[in-house]
Amino acid sequence: MLGGGSFTLFRVRGIRIGVDWSWFIVLFLLILWMSQSYGDLLGESGSATEPFLLAILTAVGFFGSILLHELGHAMVALRNGIGIRSIQLWIFGGMARMDREADSPGTELKVALAGPLVTLAIVAATTLVGIAASSPHVFKQAALFEAAPGVTGPLALVAWLAMINALVLVFNLLPAFPMDGGRVARAIAWHRSGDRTAATRFAAGLGRLFGYAFVAAGIYMVFTDSIFGTFGGVWLTLIGMVINGSARGAAMQTAISSRIDGLRVADVMDRQPVAIPSELSIEQALDEYFLRYRWPWFPVVDAAHRFLGLLVRDRADEVPEISRSSSLVADLLELDDGTFQVRDDAPLDTLLSNQNLRRFGALMAVDADGRLSGVITVEQVGRALRDGANAG
């Protein structure tokens, strides 16, 4: 869904915050539209200083709200052991790109509701601030950009943010997968049926129905010159097409994942992984592991066989020969923050959307106590899918 160009803005707790090139289109249109709206409200030209500055602040507030929504998803996902690769702002809002799917309906529900709860908090905060600074009636007039006594530019900014976030909240909670409401519907169906595959198929079906409905409504708005205008109709049509495509993709992935339904990581992983003890010297690691097996990296474990991270050949080679006997593996390994591992009792189909498995080609399988119990590779997952297809 995202375009090819992506720009990094900053990082939050290691999560890359980026913008797709399409985001700049919305930024430009929003500033242009809001400049004109503030100009009409204040009786000035839209290119005047105050309307233009208010429009910029409105755009910052709007996209800041979208970012906070996605960070809500991300923080809850991280607390439940789901890695977040990045948060991307694009033409239709934002998207937290997770390393894998939730492994239980409860986790799916918590992650899905986290974003809407943040948006609800933004609506409540801006509404309280706006009403405290004016009155409920004046606040409503400000939200609609009606020129009236007591309606100022800053009040209109706060009121508009409250209104747009309320609309985003309601729209996002519609049970149209993959929107948050659709994920809530999938979590409920999953909890009731105990079958994630069937729940995803059900939610994807709802998503496609809503997608078609949005497209039909958008086309109707365009040809009937509705109160939302031609632009609103085109926008709703595009959103419907995106939702339809995403739901169709989810249904296709579900059909693929059903081939390995019931399998766990432990069922296909290599149960005898070669690991380097952390107390070994770099010299021993090079001689006994890298030169022997010719692998580019190895997992590193402590005395209790708990997985600590990876030792990469290139980093070991950088250590001067005179220092290799006194340098320890523990001092040179890339510590694991959850990026390199997966639980050995996790459903195998959760790896189909695991970005780290695609990136590294393999993940370390650990038990409930964090001990290394195996290695799962892309080839092993692919073999399981082929076996499942042949069995079907």
Say what the pLDDT of residue 317 is.
Answer: 94
Say what the pLDDT of residue 229 is.
Answer: 62
Say what the pLDDT of residue 389 is.
Answer: 63
List Cβ neighbours of 169 (8 Å cut-off, separation of 6 or more): 116, 119, 120, 123
Quick check: pTM over 0.85? no
Other CB atoms within 10 A of residue 294 CB:
8
What are the DSSP calls for 324-369, one per residue? TTT-BGGGTSEE-SSSSEEETTSBGGGGGG-HHHHHHSEEEEE-TT
Say what the pLDDT of residue 115 is.
Answer: 95
Tokens at residue 183, please? 């994920």
**37: helix, strand or coil:** helix
Taking alpha carbons only, the member of 63, 169, 79, 160 closest to residue 115 is 169
3-state secondary structure 187-225: HHHHHHHCCHHHHHHHHHHHHHHHHHHHHHHHHHHHHHC
Whether the upstream peptide bond of residue 296 has omega within 30° of 0, thus cis, is no
Say what the pLDDT of residue 1 is.
Answer: 35
Say what the pLDDT of residue 226 is.
Answer: 59
Residue with tokens 């692998």: 295
Say what the pLDDT of residue 391 is.
Answer: 62
Taking alpha carbons only, the member of 188, 184, 182, 193 closest to residue 251 is 182
Report whether 343 contacts 366 (CB < 8 A). yes
Say what the pLDDT of residue 385 is.
Answer: 83
Extract the residue ranges of the chain whose pLDDT is less than 50. Answer: 1-4
Which tens digit of pLDDT belongs to each residue from 113-152? 999 999 999 999 999 999 999 999 999 999 989 989 999 9
